[in-house]
Amino acid sequence: MSKTKKILSIVLAVVMAFSVFSICAFADTDTATWTIEVTNTDGTPLGATIPTGNKVLVTVKLQTNFYVGTVGLPVVFSDAFEYVDGTVNQVEIYGAGATRTAFNDDFNAGISGTKAVYAVYVPNSGAAGVASPIYSTATTVLSFQLEAVSEATADIYLPADMQKTDTNLGGRFYCGSRATSDVTTDENMTGQTFVTTGATATVVISNAAADPILTGKDGGVVYTGTDNYVYGIPVGADANDYFEIQNGTFTVSATATGATLTVYTTGGAEYATYTVVIFGDVDGDGIISMDDYILTKAAFQGSALTGAALIAADINGASIDGTHTIDMDDYIAIKAAFQGSSITVNPYI
The CATH number linked to 105 is 2.60.40.680
Model confidence pLDDT, tens digit, residues 135-160: 999 999 999 999 999 999 999 999 99
- Residue 25: CB atoms within 10 A of its CB come to 8
Same domain? 150 vs 297: no
On whether residue 137 sits in a domain, the answer given is yes
On whether residue 343 sits in a domain, the answer given is no
Q: In total, how many domains does the chain have? A: 2
Is pLDDT above 50 for 163? yes
Same domain? 73 vs 120: yes
Is pLDDT above 60 for 58? yes
The secondary structure of residue 347, as a DSSP letter, is: T
DSSP-derived 3-state class of residue 282: coil
Angle at 307 between CA 301 and CA 311, to 5 degrees: 65
For the residues of 123-142, what is the DSSP string, one character each?
E-TTSTT--PPB--S-EEEE
23 pLDDT tier (thresholds 50, 70, 90): very low
Same domain? 77 vs 191: yes
Which residues have CB under 8 Å from 332's CB, separation 6+? Answer: none
Q: What is the reported pTM?
A: 0.62
On whether residue 10 sits in a domain, the answer given is yes
Report how far apart, in Å, the C-alpha atoms of 328 and of each of 36, 158, 309, 341 are: 48, 55, 17, 17
Q: Choose the weakest-confidence range: 71-75, 91-95, 209-213, 260-264.
A: 209-213
Looking at residue 21, its pLDDT comes to 40
On whether residue 346 sits in a domain, the answer given is no
Q: Rounded to a whole number, what is the largest CA-CA distance in the chain?
A: 78
| Phi, psi (rounded to 5 degrees) for 215 | -135, 155
Among candidate residues 261, 302, 256, the one with its CA nearest the CA of residue 279: 256
Q: Which domain holds residue 162?
A: 3-206
Same domain? 15 vs 157: yes
